[in-house]
Structure 1
C-alpha cells in the first residue's frame, strides 16, 4: 500500500489518462502507417513504433498498479508536531549554515526541483518522528550532514 497526497494521486490519474487516450493511440497509428510501407523485417519505423508501444504499455501497467495500491491521506488528520508523510520541514545544515525546505512525499511524488523528497530517502528517514529543534545526522553521498529542524508544517 502506498500513501500519497490527493495532488499526487490526481497527477498519476492524469498521467495514466494521457498514456491511454493520447500516447497509445498515436503509437498504434504509427505502427499501422509503418506496416503499410511494406516489408516489416527491415522496416525501422515499424520496429521503433513497436518498441515505443511496449514502453507505453509498461508505463500504463505500472501506473495502474500504483493507483490500485494507493491510499490518499486525509491531511486534516495529520499533526505538525512531528515529521511525517506530507510534512513540510524547514531545516538548517549546521556545518554549512544553509537553510533548506523539503516536503516528505511518497516515492511516486518525489521531485527535487519542487522540493519534494521521497519518504524512503536517507534525509526523510532520518527526519521521521523528529520534532522542532531536534538535530539529526544523515549519511549522504558527500558524507555525514547535521540538520537542525527549524519548523514543521503541513
Structure 2
C-alpha cells in the first residue's frame, strides 16, 4: 500500500482539494475556537468540552493528513487519454446483465471515488476489475459474493460528470 498510486478523475481531485481547503480554513478555526472556549471554563483535567474538542482536533488533523497524502499519490485520468474502444477508468460502461435481462450503466473510477449508490464502481472491485479492458460486444463472467454474474458490454463512453 505504501507508495501506491491513487487514480482519480478530475471531479474526484476537485472534491478532495475542496474538502482539504475547507478543513484547513474553516474546520481548524472552528475547533481551535471550541478548545479556546473549553479552556475558559477552567480546570481542563476534568473538562469534557475540552476533551471533546481535542479529540475533534485530532480527527480533523488526521483527515487533513490523509487527504494530503492522497493528493501526493494522485494520478489524474486525463479525458484526452481515454480510449473509448475499451473499458477503463473514467469511462461510463453500459452492460446487459444476461441473467436478469437488465441494462445497467457503471462509471469506472479509482477506489477512493467509488460510490455504489451513484453506480460509480472501483477499478479494484470484482465487477470493475473484470470489465477493465473489455470492448463493446465482449461478454464477461464475474465472480461476485452471491455467485457468478454474466454481463455483455453494450456501450463505452466518457462520463462527462467526472471530468
Q: CA RMSD in A?
A: 1.1
User: What is the TM-score when the length of structure 1 is the normalising length?
Assistant: 0.95
Q: 1:30 aligns with which of 31, 34, 39?
A: 34
1:79 match: secondary structure: coil
Structure 1: 4+ residue segments shifted above 6 A? none
The aligned counterpart of 1:12 is: 16
Aligned twin of 1:143: 147
Measured against aligned partners, the alpha-carbon deviations of 1:115-148 in whole angstroms (never above 9, x if no partner) come to: 2111111100010111111111112222211111
Q: How many residues align?
A: 154
Distance 2:29 2:122 in 1: 33
- Number of the residue aligned with 2:45: 41
Structure 1, residues 85-139: CA drift from partner, whole Å, max 9, x if none? Answer: 1111111111111211111011121122222111111100010111111111112
- Give the Cα–Cα distance (whole angstroms) in 2 for the partners of residues 144 and 35 of structure 1: 58
1:133 paired with 2:122, answer no
Q: Does 1:111 align with 2:143?
A: no
* Cα distance in 1, alignment partners of residues 146 and 100 from structure 2: 13
Q: Give the 5 Å matches for 1:76-115.
A: 76-115=80-119
Which structure dedicates a bigger proportion of its chain to helix? 2
SS at match of 2:26: helix
Contact 2:7 2:111 in 1 (8 A): no
Distance 1:36 1:140 in 2: 55
- Distance between the aligned counterparts of 1:106 and 1:118, measured in 2? 5
Partner SS for 2:127: helix
Q: Could you tell me which runs of 5 or more consecutive residues in structure 1 were left unpaired when the two chains were aligned.
A: none
For the Cα contact (< 8 Å) 2:139–2:150, is it kept in 1?
yes
Deviation at 1:73, TM superposition (A): 2.0
Specify the SS of the correspondent of 2:95: strand
